Chain A
Amino acid sequence: MTNNAESTLPRLLALQRRLARWVGPAVVIEVGVIVLLFVIGFAVSENFRTPDNAVNIFEQTTGLAFVALGQTVVILSGGIDLSLDANIALTSSLLSGVVNGRADLAAPMIAAVLAIGLTIGLVNGALILLLRVHPLIVTLAVAAVVQGITLLYTLMPIGGMPDGFDVLAFGRVFGIPIGATFAVLCFAVVAFVLAYTRPGRQIFAFGGEPAAARLVGVPVRRVVLFVYALSGLLASLTGIYLVSRLGVGNPTGDTNYNLASITPVVLGGTPLTGGRGGVLGTLLGVSLVQTLNNVLNFLDISTFYQWMIQGLIVIAAVSIFIDKRRRAA
C-alpha cells in the first residue's frame, strides 16, 4: 500500500513535468484547478451535474473570452489595454441606440461598430507610438475621451435590437452555443497566427526584447498598431455580444472588463512583462474564472466574496508559480 502511494506521487509529478514542457506549467495547473472545481461542483449540487449547466458555463464565457483574447495579444507585445470598458460602452450603446429596433439597420450598424472598435484600437496604437508613453497612460486617456463621447451621446441605455438578435448570445446549433463557439474559433485563429506566422512571431519578439527586436528589423510600428487594433476589434465584439445578451447597450462603462480581462491572462501564465505565454492559457483561464463563479453561485456565496476569492487567486497565481518561472528563466 505505502509502497504504491510512494511511487504514484513521483509518477504524477513526472507526468506533470512532461506535460508542462509541452504547454507550460500554468496550463497544467489550470486544467487541474478546473477539474477540481468540477469535482467540488459535482459534490455539492444536484443542478451542477446537469449537462445543461456545463453548456451554460461555456455560453457565459463568450463576453470575457473576446476581451481576454485581445488583452493577451497586447500583453504578449509588452503593453496593456485599459480602454476596453469605454470601447464596449461606446460600441454597445451606439449599436442599440442607432438600430432602435429596425431590422434593416442591424447589419450595417454591426459593421460600423466593428470599425469604430478597430479605430479606437488604432488610435491607442498610434498615440503610443507617437508619444512613446506607457500604454497604461495612453489607453486610459483614450478611454476617458471615448467614455466622455459615449456619455454625451446618451446617459441611459437607449434603443433596442430587432427580434431574433439575441441569437448571437443564446442561439444554439445541436445544443452548442453559437457565440461561444465563435469565440473559441477566434482563439484558434489567433493561436495559429501567433505560432506559425511572421507577424505572430514578431509580436513575441517585440514583447520579449523590444530593443533587440527593433535591431533585427521587426516592424515595430506595424506590430503595435496591429495588437491594439485587434484588441479594439475584439472589445467591440464583446460590445455586440452584450447587446445581444441584454437587448440594449450599456453606456456607463462599468462592465469591469478592463480588469476582468487581465485575470485569465495572468492565470494562463502570460506575465505582464510580455514576450512569453499564449492564448491557450487564457482560454483555460476564462473557463476557470467562469467555472469558479458558477460553483460559488451553487455554494450560495455572495458576489462580494466572489470578488475576494478572484483577487486572492490572482495574487496566488502571480506570486507563486509564475514567479518561480521567472527566476528559473
Chain B
Amino acid sequence: MSTTASTTPRFREHGAEAFIERNGLFVFCVVLTVGAALFAPGFRSPNNLQNVLTNAAPLGVVVLGQCLVILVRGFDLSVASVMATAAVIATSFDETTNWSVIPILTVSLLMAVIVGSVNGYLVTQREVSPFLATLAMMIVLQGLRFAWTKGAASGRVPEMIRMLGSQAIYGIPINLLLLLVLSVIVGVMLRRTAFGRKIYMVGGNPRAAELVGVNVNRVTFGCYVLSSILAALGGLVLVGYVGSVDNWVGRGYELNSIIATVMGGVSLGGGRGTVLGALVGAFVLTEIFNITLLLGFPVQFQWVVKGVVILLAVAVYLAAYRSR
C-alpha cells in the first residue's frame, strides 16, 4: 500500500530531525494545556484534570500496542473489537466476587493471543496487507461477539475492575498508574531488549534486518500479539471506567489510537518513533476533545476538530521531515 516510493526508511532516533518531531508535540502539548488553563473555564479544576487523565488512560494502553505494530510497518484495526470482546468477557463471570478477575483475565488474554496470532499469521505467512487482515479479523470477532451476546450485551463487572478503572489514589487515577507501569514495560522492552531493537530494525529496513539474521516474521508476529494483548487490557480498563457494557465498548479507538500514535511522531513508514511520543499523542487527543466540550462547542464539533488536528499534525511533521 505504498503511495510514495521516494520515502526511504531511516533508522534515526537521536538526530536533530527526530528531536524536532518529538519535541514539536511536547511544545504543542504544553501550549495547549497552558492555553486551555487560561481560556477555558473549568479546565484547571482538579476534577477536570483528573477526568482528562482517566479518559486518556485506556486510549494510552491501546496506543502502546498500536505503536508496536506501526513500528513494524503495519497497523491494527482490530483493537476496538478486541477491547469490546474483553469487556463482554469481563461481564460474563460472577460479578459479586473479585475472584472472577482471574478467569476474566485468563480468558481475555487467551482471546487476545488468538486474535493477535491470526493477525500475525495472515500478515507474515500469508502476506495479507495489515489493513485487510486486521479489518477482516475485526469483522469476524464482531460477529462472534454479537452471536455470543445475542446482540444485546449486558451485565456488570466485578468491583475490582470497576475500582481499577475509575478510582484514584491521592488524586491520581489508578488506571493512569496502570498505564504508566505498562508504558515502562513496553518502553524498556523497546530500548533495552534484543526484541525491542529488532522491532526498530524490522520497521526501518526489513531486508537489511533479514540479512543480519533477524527473524522478521517472528518479530512482526510478536508485535501483533502484543497489540491484541494490550488492546484487551485497554478494554478491561475502559469497561472498568464506564461500568456497564454493550457490544461497542471502545468504538472509535482503532482510529483514535492510530491518530494518536501518528501524532506522537511514530512514522507510518515504520521504524521511527517512541512510546513516550505516542503517549503524549494520546494525551493531546483526549485533551483536545475535553477542550472542545469545555469551550461550549457541541459534542459533534469534536469530529471536525479531530479531522483538522490530524491534517495539521501530519502537515507539520512532514514539513519538519522534509526540511531537515
A residues at B contact (CB < 8 Å): 78-80, 127-128, 131-138, 140-149, 151-152, 155, 210-211, 259, 262, 266, 272-273, 302-312, 314-315, 318-319, 323, 326
Task: Tell me whether A304 and B310 are in contact (CB under 8 A).
Answer: no
Contact residues in A for B138 (Cβ distance below 8 Å): 311
Q: Which of B15-23, B154-162, B220-228, B311-319 contacts A (4 or more CB under 8 A)?
A: B311-319
B132-155 vs A: 1/0 string, CB under 8 Å? 110111111011101100010000
Q: Which residues of B contact A312 (CB under 8 A)?
A: 136, 140
**Min CB–CB distance A99 → chain B (angstroms):** 22
Interface of B is mostly: helix
B3 sits at the interface (CB 8 A): yes
Q: Is the CB of B127 within 8 A of A131?
A: no
* CB-based contact B3/A210 at 8 Å: yes
Contacting pair A142 B307 (CB below 8 A) = yes
Q: Can you name the residue of chain A whose Cβ is closest to the Cβ of B121? A: A319
Nearest-Cβ distance from residue B83 to partner chain A, whole angstroms: 17
CA distance A260 to B56 in the complex (A): 31
**Distance in Å from the Cβ of B281 to the closest Cβ of chain A?**
13
Q: How many residues of B contact A (CB 8 A)?
A: 46
With beta carbons under 8 angstroms apart, the residue of A127, A132, A134 that contacts B311 is A127
What CA separation (Å) do A78 and B2 show in the bound complex? 7
A-B contact pairs, 16 of them (CB 8 A): A78-B2, A79-B3, A131-B314, A134-B1, A140-B259, A141-B310, A142-B307, A144-B304, A144-B306, A144-B310, A148-B304, A259-B135, A311-B139, A311-B142, A318-B126, A318-B129
Q: Contacts A138-B311, A211-B6 hold; do A318 and B303 have CB atoms under 8 A apart?
A: no
Cβ of B323 within 8 Å of any chain A Cβ, yes or no, is no
B126 touches A323 (CB 8 A): yes
Q: How far is B155's CA from A8's CA once the two chains are assembled, in angstroms?
A: 58
Question: Which of the 9-residue segments B173-181, B196-204, B294-302 touches chain A?
Answer: B294-302
The contact of B1 among A128, A211, A272, by CB within 8 Å, is A272
Within 8 A of A (CB), among B1-56: 1-6
Residues of A within 8 A of B262 (CB): 137
